[in-house]
Structure 1
Amino acid sequence: MILLQAQHVARHFGADVLFENIDLDIQENSRIALVGKNGAGKSTLLKMIIGEQAPDEGQIVTKKGLTLGYLAQNTGLESDKTIYEEMLSVFEPLRQMEAQIHRLEVEIADPNADHTSANYQQLLKRYDQLLHDFKEQNGYGYETEIRSVLHGFHFSEEDYERLITSLSGGQKTRLALAKLLLEKRDLLILDEPTNHLDIETLTWLENYIQSYQGALLIVSHDRYFLDKIVTEVYEISRGHSSYYKGNYSNYIVEREKRQELAWKNYEKQQAEIQKLEDFVNKNLVRASTTKRAQSKRKQLEKMDRLKRPDGAEKSMHFRFKAAEESGNVVLTVNDAAIGYDGQIIASPINLELRKHQILAVVGPNGIGKSTLLKSILGKQPFIKGTATFGTNVHPGYYDQEQHNLHPKKNVLNELWDDHPTTPEKDIRSILGSFLFSGDDVKKMVHSLSGGEKARLLLTKLAMQHDNFLVLDEPTNHLDIDSKEVLEQAIKDFDGTILLVSHDRYFINKVATSVLEIAPTGSTLYLGDYDYYLAKKEEQAELLAAKKQANGQAIEPKKEVSTGKLNYAKSKEQQKQERKLTRKVAELEAKVEKLDAAKTELETQMAQPENFNDLDKMAELQQQLEETSQQLALTEEEWENSSMELEEFLS
């Protein structure tokens, strides 16, 4: 059943079009991602869907009685209640039902009641019905559900009596999402729900949301999250929408395939148009071929001409380049303890980082990951232990708090003041590669968005040409396209990188090793994020087996998302994809060969020496019919194989 439809929706700003002809269908239990570059209009479309804004064209149609929950970006829960009181308010109808059950129990237990009266029998029926409804609506488990959700978002029982007004912005955002999950609306719309969540909480949320009974519409830059949750993707690009079946990774593959197929079809049609136009131009004025030329011209006029496919949208393009090489050992940390005011939060931390490695630091929020980076750089002292740089190491730092920017400077001077001998045109060219063009360079830093500040920080870092990059949450505020550009720049970098990130997809793409920080110290995993998760699960299973062998009670196994594909299945899928791709390519080549043969036969039949030779014309006509028949069959087989490949990839 369709819960909601956006039909030909548009948003205009005067003569400018943000988007138009947007169609979107949300079914019961849909799991939809809405993706697109920053500024494409994703949040605007969400506001139309929830009724906060009206579309300039088109309409939003909803199922009667649809219940809808919406979490805007960085929107926190505002309430003067305690945390637990606010969560209890979600279940107020159940609590009223519970109170009514208790009142009926008192009436039923009244010693003066006439147990044989019709009123008493009616009382018992009402009581039985209420008990049934109470049980069906999880009346006996809603408080357990509250505790489970609050625990998932890192609120302990000690926090239950805290006033919501005393919470931080991030805590309020997590609490707003917790309340929405408990409300169980028909349609849940989440705009960047993974902001302010650490990796442990993200993993819990993924597992919880997979069993959510309602439909989901999600805007998120967290590609790992989207891969785990969504089964459909709507992309807004260049003011229009496109639909893709599958998760985020499938969407990326399918988008590239569609683009390739669109160019192939366009180029094939252009070649056909050129061939027909040449034939018309050469043969229209000749009496012997004018009829066929006129027929070809009509064919041209009736042809549904394909629009030239759009190229890729404008994205950042840059690279990190070290001015000189470092020694083989870049960084050594020995028995370090990190924390504040003499209070240790994690110890001991040990690591040796060698040239060309990319090490990702992970751990729960508050464990001191950013503190570790600052202590390594000497911006904050270790409580104990040391960090030593190797020979010829020049560190560059990306600060997630963006303190390296000067709010009272404009974009151009923010960069130019650091490199005063560089010509202005070169500074502008570099800024252009980070999407600062024209009057953008005159913007004051304090007026920039979070994404623009992130791009400006990356510009400054790229200009320094350091050989050791220390990156603290570099993907914050970046849209997905910008993240992919940053990933490529990191992978192509000829130096060494130490980074902190909660973006698991990003870590998985770039990291060569993972360092986990815990109160008891650090553990090194020599692989990407998927490898780290797999080893963690393996360790948990070994611990469980050891407990079982010792006769200890085993905690229920937590669902750990390994993110690791079944290797054999993956290889078989790749083999099948290669087979189908090869078949499509072979058939396409055969079509082109037969088409060329058909054209050649038609050319021969149009030549005067053959046109007047009846035997020769009969022979050519038979060859043409056979070739045309083969061409039609091959084209049909090519179309079927192309569709089969497209379905396989989706």
Structure 2
Amino acid sequence: MSLINVTNLTFAYDGSYDNIFEDVSFQLDTDWKLGFTGRNGRGKTTFLNLLLGKYEYSGHISASVSFEYFPFPVGNKENHTIDVVEDIYPDFQHWELMRELSWLQVSEDVLYRPFESLSNGEQTKVLLAALFLKENSFLLIDEPTNHLDMHARKLVSDYLKSKSGFILVSHDRAFLDNCVDHILSINRTNIEVQKGNFSDWWLNKQRQDDYELAENEKLKKDIKRLSDAAKRTSNWSHEVEKTKNGTRNSGSKVDKGYVGHKAAKMMKRSKSIEQRQQSAIDERSKLLKNIEASDSLKITQLPYHKSQLAELDNVSIYYGDKLVCRDIDFTIEQGDRIALSGKNGSGKSSILKLICGENISHTGTFRLGSQLKISYVSQDTSHLHGNLTDYARENGIDESLFKAILRKLDFARIQFEKDMSSFSGGQKKKVLIAKSLCEKVHLHIWDEPLNFIDVISRMQIEELLLEYEPTILFVEHDREFCANIATKVVELS
């Protein structure tokens, strides 16, 4: 066991007026399995890069271990996989590598294939296995679940559960709950470390938020009561002051000593109220700093003139001579929330594209409702560039509504001035989802919409789909999201 000490860490990117971290201090144990969470754009990857020594910062980071980053950058993906492993760890023992790969259910033959020929899941597993061979290293694992199917996520999560000494960035709640024992969270105003898995941390956060909201409401009432009392005291003092040089109703002269004593008493009471009021204001200012804004979203789908929107009857899809999937049967009815499930490569994205009108080679019967309007969210965000105003105009959506949705998804106003190409992966996915929510359609089709998106935003999207019950067909590997949302599951074997 050794410690990683972060002391008075402050960092901002060159040219930025805002610090990403300001005077942050905490301590980590290198034996922990740390889940790293926080909303998109808060600085999770930036913090990992600071540990790796990539940026200059003020403050101090000390550790007696070396840091290794996942995913390891593979320069030449045409190389055989075993050569990629050797680049990561030249001194590896073959039997140790085979032990790690067997735990991840990866066969030995992948080592003698070009790395680029491996699936995303196989590449993830190989890189993790290679990195965990290194001794006296603390792994910085940055979003390994993206593009992993549900089965692969469970496998990788179980593998990490058997390990220790890592920070894991992931927004998949079930994945985190299974394999971490501490949570490192970047909040709005600080960084916290808590023992337990994600669900433990979330429960503690909700309790803290509820407590602060209740305290805030109580202090608001106290401040109002004290403010009203101060006004009354002020009025009383004013009335006393008026009698100082006047006469009593009986016509006799005023007892100035009595009036002075009474005025002093009023002044003392006024000062006491003022101090209590300021104290309540100070206490209130300490609250609500880490409560996340998660306003509800809205969606308005167009009604369709038929109950059935689409039907696939014994559909098989081909790319050239290659069979991608076969004998697919399901219908999309109004109000359905259908999760399309299956391993990577089973044809899920191809089915979505077929329904969206792309020219996909297929056999069987595919029927699509006439004049059906569809909003599609793709996996790919590489086409996003330029500013949000132009993007809204080019896509024929209401700019004000579009930006209001992004604000609810935790976009800072300063982001509206930036080029979308500079956005984080999660922010780019939010742009696609916000666009989709603005479109007036009969059916939403979303292909892995939650990749890179933070947990709180995922919960907002869940609440939206449960409240408004739109017709939606989606592919998503977040187990909890699917369990909460889907009214039907179509499994592709």
8 Å CA contact 1:326–1:467 kept in 2: the answer is no
- Structure 1 counterpart of 2:402: 430
**How far off its partner does 1:498 sit?**
0.8
Does the 8 A contact of 1:76 with 1:173 survive in 2? no
Residue aligned with 1:238, SS: coil
Three-state SS of the structure 1 residue aligned to 2:311 is strand
Q: 2:23 aligns with which of 11, 21, 24?
A: 21
Report the Cα distance in structure 1 between the residues aligned to 2:20 and 2:89, rounded to whole angstroms.
41
Structure 1 pair 333/80, CA: closer, same or farther in 2 (3 Å)?
closer
Does 1:195 find its partner at 2:172? Answer: no
Q: Which of 191, 198, 203 is the equivalent residue of 1:253?
A: 203
1:633 is aligned to none
Residue 331 of structure 1 contacts residue 390 of structure 1 at CA under 8 Å; is this kept in 2? yes
Aligned length: 459
In the aligned structure 1, how far is the partner of 2:119 from the partner of 2:324?
Answer: 20
AA of the residue aligned to 1:358: R
- AA paired with 1:517? L
Kept in 1, the 8 Å contact 2:314–2:364? The answer is yes
User: Residue 493 in 1 paired to residue 468 in 2?
Assistant: yes
Provide the secondary structure at the position in 2 that maps to 1:268: helix
1:187 is matched by which residue type in structure 2?
Answer: F
For 1:510 and 1:75, the matched residues in 2 are separated by 35
State how far apart, in whole Å, the 1-side matches of 2:73 and 2:301 are.
Answer: 40
The answer for the alignment partner of 2:11 in structure 1 is: 11
Give the conservation status (yes or no) of the 8 Å contact 2:450–2:458: yes
Aligned to 1:59: 60
What are the Cα deviations for residues 578-623 of structure 1, in whole angstroms up to 9, with x where unaligned? xxxxxxxxxxxxxxxxxxxxxxxxxxxxxxxxxxxxxxxxxxxxxx
Q: Distance in 1 between the 2:205 and 2:133 partners?
A: 36
- Which residue in the other structure is 1:71 paired with? 70
Counterpart selection for 2:40 from 38, 41, 52: 38
1:30-78 Cα shifts (integer Å, max 9, x gaps): 122222222212122222223333432x31122x4x2433225x84476
* 1:286 Cα deviation after fit: 3.3
Say whether residues 1:482 and 2:457 are aligned partners. Answer: yes
3-state DSSP of counterpart to 1:5: strand
Match of 1:378 among 341, 347, 357: 357
Separation in 2, partners of 1:459, 1:237: 23
User: C-alpha displacement at 1:414, in angstroms?
Assistant: 3.1
The answer to whether 1:471 aligns with 2:446 is yes
- Give 1:390 shift: 4.8
- Aligned positions of 1:144-543 closer than 5 A: 144-149=98-103, 152=105, 155-164=106-115, 172=123, 174-183=125-134, 185-212=136-163, 214-269=164-219, 271-272=221-222, 282=233, 286=262, 293=269, 296=272, 300=276, 303=279, 305-308=282-285, 309-310=287-288, 312-313=291-292, 318-390=297-369, 393-402=372-381, 410-419=387-396, 426-435=398-407, 449-518=424-493
Q: Take 1:341 and 1:80, find their aligned partners in 2: how far apart are those partners? A: 24
In the other structure, the counterpart of 1:142 is 96
| 8 Å contact from structure 1 (residues 430, 459) kept in 2 | yes
**Kept in 2: contact 1:315–1:481 (CA 8 A):** yes
What is the CA distance between 1:391 and its match in structure 2? 7.2
Cα separation, 2, equivalents of 1:444 and 1:4: 36
SS of the equivalent of 1:179 reads helix
Structure number with larger C-alpha Rg: 1
Is the deviation greater in 83-92 or in 394-403?
83-92
> Which shifted more, 382-391 or 217-226?
382-391
| CA distance in 2 between partners of 1:413 and 1:298 (Å) | 52
Kindly indicate which of the two structures has a greater share of residues assigned to helix: 1
- After TM superposition, the score normalised by the length of structure 2 is 0.79
Contact kept in structure 1, 2:139 and 2:165, CA below 8 Å = yes
Tell me by how many angstroms 1:335 deviates: 1.0
Quick one: structure 1 residues 452 and 262, their matched pair in 2 at CA, closer, same or farther if it must change by over 3 Å? closer
The 2-side partners of 1:40 and 1:406 are apart by 21
Aligned to 1:183, the other structure's residue is in SS state coil
Aligned residue runs from structure 1 range 116-127, under 5 A = none
User: Which secondary structure does the structure 1 equivalent of 2:436 belong to?
Assistant: helix
User: Which runs of 5 or more residues in structure 1 are unaligned?
Assistant: 96-138, 519-650
CA drift at 1:19: 1.8
Q: Secondary structure at the match of 2:148?
A: coil
Q: TM-score, normalised by structure 1?
A: 0.62
Contact 1:17 1:239 in 2 (8 A): no
C-alpha deviation, 1:364, in angstroms: 1.1
Residue matched to 2:241: none
Paired residue type of 1:322: Q
After TM superposition, the structure 1 stretch with the greater mean CA deviation from structure 2, 270-279 or 482-491, is 270-279
Range 333-342 or range 8-17, more displaced:
8-17
CA contact (8 A) 2:183 2:198 kept: yes
1:521-577 CA distances to partner (integer Å, 9 max, x unpaired)? Answer: xxxxxxxxxxxxxxxxxxxxxxxxxxxxxxxxxxxxxxxxxxxxxxxxxxxxxxxxx
User: 1:3: how far off?
Assistant: 2.1
Query: Quick one: distance in 2 between partners of 1:457 and 1:94?
Result: 43
Q: 1:307 to 1:297 in 2, by over 3 A?
A: closer
Distance in 1 (alpha carbons) for counterparts of 2:50 and 2:23: 14
1:61 partner letter: S
Kindly state the Cα deviation for residue 235 of structure 1 after the two structures are TM-superposed.
2.1
- In the superposition, relative to structure 1, how do residues 91 and 259 fare at CA in structure 2: closer, same or farther (>3 Å)? closer
Shift in CA distance, 217/24, structure 1 to aligned 2, threshold 3 Å: farther
Shift of 1:500: 0.8
Task: Give the whole-Å Cα distance in 2 for the aligned partners of 1:383 and 1:5.
Answer: 58
Structure 1 residues 181 and 362, CA gap change in structure 2 (3 angstroms): farther
Counterpart residue identity of residue 69, structure 1: E
C-alpha distance in structure 2 between counterparts of 1:260 and 1:205, whole Å: 35
Work out which structure has the larger RCO, using CA pairs closer than 8 Å and 6 or more positions apart in sequence.
2
- Structure 1 pair 297/2, CA: closer, same or farther in 2 (3 Å)? farther
- Structure 2 residue runs of 5 or longer lacking an equivalent are 238-260
Q: In the alignment, which residue of structure 2 is the partner of 1:600? A: none
2:26–2:192 Cα contact (<8 Å) kept: no
Q: Following the alignment from structure 1 to structure 2, what is the Cα–Cα distance between the partners of residues 273 and 462?
A: 41
| Percent identity of paired positions between Structure 1 and Structure 2 | 25
Distance (whole Å) between structure 1 residues aligned to residue 195 and residue 374 of structure 2? 44
**Contact 1:398 / 1:458 at 8 angstroms: preserved in 2?**
yes
The amino acid of 2:61's aligned partner reads: I
Q: Please tell me whether the aligned partners of residues 231 and 246 of structure 1 are also in contact (alpha carbons under 8 angstroms).
A: yes
Aligned to 1:119: none
Q: CA deviation at 1:362?
A: 1.3
- Conserved 8 A contact 1:40-1:239: no
Residue pair 1:76, 1:169 contacting (<8 A) in 2 also: no
Deviation at 1:28, TM superposition (A): 4.5
Q: Structure 2 CA distance, aligned partners of 1:400 and 1:79? A: 22
Is the contact made by 2:317 and 2:325 (CA closer than 8 Å) also made in structure 1?
yes
**Distance in 2 between the 1:375 and 1:168 partners?**
23
Aligned-pair Cα RMSD in Å = 3.8
- Given residue 363 of structure 2, which amino acid in structure 1 is its aligned partner? K
Q: Tell me the CA shift for residue 296 of structure 1.
A: 4.4
Tell me, in whole angstroms, the C-alpha distance in 1 between the residues paired with 2:31 and 2:332. Answer: 46
Which residue matches 2:240?
Answer: none
